[in-house]
Amino acid sequence: MSARPTAYDSPIEVVALDADDTLWHSEVYFERTQRRFTDLIRRYVDPDLDIDAALVAVEHRNLAAYGYGIKGFTLSMVEAAIEITDGAIGTDELAQIMASGRTMLDHPVDLIDGVDDTLTALATAGYRLLLVTKGDLHHQERKIAASGLAQRFERLEIVAEKDPATYRRVIASMGVDPAAFCMVGNSVRSDVLPVLELGGHAVHIPYHVTWAHEQVDHDGTVATLASITELPAWLAPP
Amino acid sequence: MSARPTAYDSPIEVVALDADDTLWHSEVYFERTQRRFTDLIRRYVDPDLDIDAALVAVEHRNLAAYGYGIKGFTLSMVEAAIEITDGAIGTDELAQIMASGRTMLDHPVDLIDGVDDTLTALATAGYRLLLVTKGDLHHQERKIAASGLAQRFERLEIVAEKDPATYRRVIASMGVDPAAFCMVGNSVRSDVLPVLELGGHAVHIPYHVTWAHEQVDHDGTVATLASITELPAWLAPP
């Protein structure tokens, strides 16, 4: 079955876009910081230890308390550095880990190729545009402002969790049925499956790096595009 | 001039309440954690050093990057501990500082006396109730859920900054004029002055501890109540 809408479906009115790794680069900075973390603590630990796996375990353990975002990631790095080196790590290295988290927060927003033109094309085609992103409220607001894209969206929704309950509220707040709503993002878990569950449309645009937490198996019928630039053509019924 | 509304004013329709230190205790846990921080690092520093002032300086330096909330506070404690001890602090103490931040995040929500009855009285009197809180989205959502009060409010607004622009948006979203809106909270800087600037009403209910960042001089004409339980009577015109 193809997930592409047809002229027989009720038309899509609202196109909702994820932000991190859909509109601008994000995970690539996490990955870079994580490599730096690994380099800093390698000499303190057993060479056979999978440092990445140990860090991911600490991150997942802290997710309920910290939620998503760089501050929680930085706290998890500090905690993991002390824990997996049995306290042998130096305060100098810990300060470097803190600084690398801070560098991520201060990093300029770097739009993914084609985003600007695609938003223009979608607006021209008459779609109501919504931004739906999860994570740290303060940092997401700063990134949205720095992106220069805020005015392109009818509304910005920064949410704590992208689950069906959240999407049900967001779709209702736009005054449309789920069938008139299409979510677009790089995470099958967060951007696609919960919206399909509600009877909405969803498009997966993979980013070349996916955080372990967002990885999920699916049955292969999820609509997938190689680039956001393909979105206007996908949305327009044949 | 008295700020109390009179029968000649347009009536207040929306009563918006701050959360931390207005509905439930918060700053007292920051203060307790800060005392623990001071105790942990005192032996590493010059006895004349004002540790509290040094921590506040780091917090303020980080505010633009971290925003409000416990995760940013914990990162600032770790950074300050390394910085003001010149790296002499041990990883054991740093782990204790991290754990004390985590304890704050996991602390049960402890309602301020009279909040429950006051919300009931306000609802019975026909006011539309709104919660407006700033800080960490994930943690504020957890606290609102844990408080059991979420259903008492028409809407919950978790904002990154309580400035006039934010209040203008919030008031407009309730569909009322500023003169029909009254904000209630423990911070003159965040809950009172920006709302008065827009022509709204505001009531200050001091908490017994105020974060240094929220302290502000004002001219003494701000409406002030000793307890939230006095709010229904204050709102009702004579």
The 10s digit of each residue's pLDDT in B103-147 is 999 999 999 999 999 999 999 999 999 999 998 888 999 999 999
Q: Is the Cβ of A46 closer than 8 Å to some Cβ of chain B?
A: no
Q: Is the Cβ of B88 closer than 8 Å to some Cβ of chain A?
A: yes
Chain A's closest residue to B91, CA to CA, is A87
CATH (one of 3.40.50.180, 3.40.109.10, 3.40.50.1000, 3.30.230.70) for A14-24+109-235:
3.40.50.1000
Residue B147, CA distances (Å) to A1, B88, B137 in order: 46, 41, 15
For B98, the closest of A75, A141, A159 (CB atoms) is A75
DSSP-based three-state secondary structure for B215? coil
Query: Which residues of chain A does CATH 3.40.50.1000 include?
Result: 14-24+109-235
Q: What is the pTM of this model?
A: 0.86
CA distance linking residue B10 with residue B175, whole number of Å: 15
Q: Which two tokens stand for residue B223?
A: 């409406």
Q: Is the Cβ of B3 closer than 8 Å to some Cβ of chain A?
A: no
pLDDT confidence bin for B2, thresholds 50/70/90 = very low
Query: Which residues of chain B does CATH 3.40.50.1000 include?
Result: 14-24+110-235
Please, what is the average pLDDT of chain A? 91
Name every residue whose Cβ is closer than 8 Å to that of residue B162 and which is 6 or more positions away in sequence. Answer: B132, B134, B187, B190, B191, B194
Percent of chain A with pLDDT over 90: 82
Closest CA–CA distance from residue B88 to any residue of chain A (Å):
8
Q: Is the Cβ of B208 closer than 8 Å to some Cβ of chain A?
A: no
Cβ pair B91:A95 closer than 8 A: no
Beta bridge partners of A224: A204
Chain A's closest residue to B82, CA to CA, is A91
Name every residue whose Cβ is closer than 8 Å to that of residue B154 and which is 6 or more positions away in sequence. Answer: B128, B129, B130, B174
Q: Is the Cβ of A145 closer than 8 Å to some Cβ of chain B?
A: no
What pLDDT does B137 receive? 87
Cβ pair B94:A82 closer than 8 A: yes
A4 φ/ψ angles, rounded to the nearest 5 degrees: -65, 135
What pLDDT does B1 receive? 33
Chain B's closest residue to A74, CA to CA, is B75
CA distance linking residue A171 with residue A201, whole number of Å: 12
pLDDT confidence bin for B215, thresholds 50/70/90 = low
Measured between beta carbons, the chain B residues lying within 8 angstroms of A65 are 102, 105-106
CATH (one of 1.10.150.240, 2.60.40.3880, 1.10.357.10, 3.30.70.20) for B27-106:
1.10.150.240
Please, what is the average pLDDT of chain B? 91
Q: Which CATH class name applies to B14-24+110-235? A: alpha beta
What pLDDT does B30 receive? 94
Mutate to test the interface with B, among A137, A139, A140 (most CBs of B within 10 A): A137
**A·B CB contacts under 8 A:** 91
Q: Is the Cβ of B146 closer than 8 Å to some Cβ of chain A?
A: no
CA distance linking residue A44 with residue A37, whole number of Å: 12
B132 φ/ψ angles, rounded to the nearest 5 degrees: -130, 110
CA distance linking residue A90 with residue A78, whole number of Å: 11
Closest CA–CA distance from residue B109 to any residue of chain A (Å):
14
How many residues does this entry show for chain B? 238
Q: Is the Cβ of B158 closer than 8 Å to some Cβ of chain A?
A: yes
Question: Per-residue pLDDT averaged across A171-188, rounded?
Answer: 95
CA distance linking residue B188 with residue B196, whole number of Å: 10
Q: Which residue has the higher pLDDT, A135 or A198?
A: A198
What pLDDT does B60 receive? 95
DSSP-based three-state secondary structure for B10? coil
What pLDDT does B5 receive? 66
Q: Is the Cβ of A82 closer than 8 Å to some Cβ of chain B?
A: yes
Which DSSP string corresponds to A6-31?
-TTSPPP-EEEE--BTTTB--HHHHH
Q: Is the Cβ of B28 closer than 8 Å to some Cβ of chain A?
A: no
Measured between beta carbons, the chain B residues lying within 8 angstroms of A83 are 95
Q: Is the Cβ of A157 closer than 8 Å to some Cβ of chain B?
A: no
Q: Is the Cβ of B66 closer than 8 Å to some Cβ of chain A?
A: yes
pLDDT tens-digit profile of B10-32? 799 999 999 999 999 999 999 99
Cβ pair B66:A95 closer than 8 A: no
Question: Per-residue pLDDT averaged across B62-90, rounded?
Answer: 95
Measured between beta carbons, the chain A residues lying within 8 angstroms of B68 are 138
Cβ pair A94:B78 closer than 8 A: yes
Q: Is the Cβ of A65 closer than 8 Å to some Cβ of chain B?
A: yes
pLDDT tens-digit profile of A104-163? 999 999 999 999 999 999 999 999 999 999 988 889 989 999 999 999 999 899 998 999
For A137, the closest of B88, B91, B158 (CB atoms) is B158
What pLDDT does B208 receive? 83
Chain A's closest residue to B159, CA to CA, is A137
CA distance linking residue B200 with residue B176, whole number of Å: 10
Q: Is the Cβ of A35 closer than 8 Å to some Cβ of chain B?
A: no
The H or E element containing residue B131 is strand B128-134
Whether residue B37 is predicted with pLDDT greater than 70 in this model: the reply is yes
Query: Which residues of chain B does CATH 1.10.150.240 include?
Result: 27-106
For A98, the closest of B67, B75, B137 (CB atoms) is B75
Q: Is the Cβ of B216 closer than 8 Å to some Cβ of chain A?
A: no
pLDDT confidence bin for B160, thresholds 50/70/90 = confident
Nearest alpha-carbon partner for B178 in B168, B191, B166, B192: B168
What is the phi-psi region of residue A115: left when phi exceeds 0, alpha when psi lies from -120 to 50, beta otherwise?
alpha
Q: Is B188:B164 a contact under the CB 8 Å cutoff? A: no
Closest CA–CA distance from residue A20 to any residue of chain B (Å):
17
